Amino acid sequence: MFCPNCGHEIHGESSTGVEKCGRCRGDGRDAFGKLCPGCGGVGSVRVRQPAVSCAACKGDGQDAFGHGCEVCEGTGWAKV
Protein backbone atom coordinates (compact mmCIF):
# COMPACT_ATOMS: atom_id res chain seq x y z
CA MET A 1 0.00 0.00 0.00
CA PHE A 2 1.26 3.48 -0.89
CA CYS A 3 0.42 6.88 0.59
CA PRO A 4 -1.70 8.81 -1.96
CA ASN A 5 -0.13 12.11 -0.90
CA CYS A 6 3.59 11.42 -0.77
CA GLY A 7 3.89 8.07 -2.57
CA HIS A 8 5.86 6.36 0.22
CA GLU A 9 5.14 2.72 0.87
CA ILE A 10 3.16 2.02 4.04
CA HIS A 11 4.23 -1.10 5.93
CA GLY A 12 2.14 -3.11 8.36
CA GLU A 13 -1.36 -2.48 9.57
CA SER A 14 -2.58 1.03 10.26
CA SER A 15 -4.52 1.76 13.39
CA THR A 16 -6.98 4.59 13.69
CA GLY A 17 -7.09 7.40 16.19
CA VAL A 18 -9.16 10.45 17.00
CA GLU A 19 -7.89 13.81 15.77
CA LYS A 20 -9.29 17.33 15.98
CA CYS A 21 -11.37 18.29 12.93
CA GLY A 22 -9.38 20.62 10.68
CA ARG A 23 -12.38 22.45 9.28
CA CYS A 24 -13.92 23.64 12.58
CA ARG A 25 -10.70 23.29 14.61
CA GLY A 26 -12.51 21.12 17.13
CA ASP A 27 -15.41 23.49 17.79
CA GLY A 28 -18.03 21.36 15.99
CA ARG A 29 -19.63 24.44 14.39
CA ASP A 30 -18.92 26.41 11.24
CA ALA A 31 -18.61 30.22 11.04
CA PHE A 32 -22.41 30.51 10.89
CA GLY A 33 -23.06 28.35 13.96
CA LYS A 34 -24.22 25.34 11.95
CA LEU A 35 -22.92 21.84 12.56
CA CYS A 36 -19.55 21.36 10.91
CA PRO A 37 -19.91 19.22 7.79
CA GLY A 38 -16.41 17.83 8.26
CA CYS A 39 -17.06 16.16 11.61
CA GLY A 40 -20.83 16.34 11.90
CA GLY A 41 -20.59 18.61 14.92
CA VAL A 42 -18.46 16.28 17.02
CA GLY A 43 -15.26 18.34 16.74
CA SER A 44 -13.10 15.31 16.04
CA VAL A 45 -12.69 12.68 13.35
CA ARG A 46 -11.29 9.17 13.29
CA VAL A 47 -8.30 8.84 10.94
CA ARG A 48 -5.62 6.29 10.23
CA GLN A 49 -2.42 6.70 12.20
CA PRO A 50 0.03 8.16 11.88
CA ALA A 51 -2.22 11.12 11.06
CA VAL A 52 -1.13 13.15 8.03
CA SER A 53 -2.54 16.59 7.19
CA CYS A 54 -4.34 16.80 3.86
CA ALA A 55 -1.92 18.16 1.25
CA ALA A 56 -4.71 19.67 -0.85
CA CYS A 57 -6.11 21.98 1.87
CA LYS A 58 -3.07 22.01 4.17
CA GLY A 59 -5.21 20.66 7.01
CA ASP A 60 -7.86 23.40 6.90
CA GLY A 61 -10.63 21.12 5.60
CA GLN A 62 -11.72 23.71 3.06
CA ASP A 63 -10.59 25.07 -0.27
CA ALA A 64 -9.60 28.67 -1.08
CA PHE A 65 -13.29 29.58 -1.52
CA GLY A 66 -14.39 28.23 1.88
CA HIS A 67 -16.01 25.09 0.46
CA GLY A 68 -15.31 21.69 1.98
CA CYS A 69 -12.15 20.08 0.63
CA GLU A 70 -13.14 17.27 -1.71
CA VAL A 71 -9.89 15.37 -1.14
CA CYS A 72 -10.25 14.90 2.64
CA GLU A 73 -14.03 15.38 2.78
CA GLY A 74 -13.56 18.42 5.02
CA THR A 75 -11.72 16.68 7.84
CA GLY A 76 -8.29 18.20 7.20
CA TRP A 77 -6.64 14.77 7.35
CA ALA A 78 -5.30 12.65 4.49
CA LYS A 79 -7.27 9.57 3.55
CA VAL A 80 -4.82 6.68 3.42
Q: Give a three-class secondary structure readout of the chain.
A: CECCCCCCECCCCCCEEEEECCCCCCCCECCCCCECCCCCCCCEEEEECCCCECCCCCCCCECCCCCECCCCCCCCECCC
**Number of structural domains the chain divides into:** 1
- For residue range 49-67, what is the model confidence (pLDDT) as tens digits? 999 999 999 999 999 998 9
Tell me, yes or no, whether 4 lies in a domain: no
User: Nearest CA to 21 among 40, 34, 3?
Assistant: 40
Tell me, yes or no, whether 49 lies in a domain: yes
Residue 72's domain spans which residues? 14-80
Q: What is the pLDDT of residue 3?
A: 59
pTM: 0.71
Tell me, yes or no, whether 58 lies in a domain: yes
Per-residue pLDDT, averaged over 61-80, amounts to 90
Residue 17 one-letter amino acid: G
